[in-house]
Amino acid sequence: MGRYIVRYAGEGSRPAADVQRIRASRGLNVLDDSSRMMLVEASAKSLKSLMSSMPGWTWTPERTIRLPDPRPRPRRRPKS
């Protein structure tokens, strides 16, 4: 199972029937929900079959970006 971002790209607000259908799908767990997007955990195969029957929706795998460590580090080694 992977984590995917499901986004409604159609006009207006997202259809409530589609949202209920996504939430009711077996093997799919909604982790977060906003006005136009949902973070879901599911297999790619089951998500692809669900999204193919719902026009206006797109999905993409979740990507994480590792942030650099903000703590300063010495540039030179101290003299012993």
What does the alpha-carbon distance between residue 73 and residue 79 come to, in Å, rounded to a whole number?
16
Asked if the structure places residue 70 within a domain, the reply is: no
The yes-or-no verdict on residue 73 having pLDDT over 90 is no
- Report how many domains make up the chain: 1
Q: Which residues pair with 29 in a beta bridge?
A: 41
For residue 7, report the phi and psi dihedrals to the nearest 5 degrees: -125, 135
Tokens of 44: 């790619």
The beta strands (E) that lie in 2-76 are given as 2-8, 29-33, 37-42, 57-61
Asked if the structure places residue 54 within a domain, the reply is: yes
Write the CATH number for 51: 3.30.70
pLDDT digits (tens, 9 = 90+) for 10-58: 888 899 999 999 999 999 999 999 999 999 999 999 999 999 999 999 9
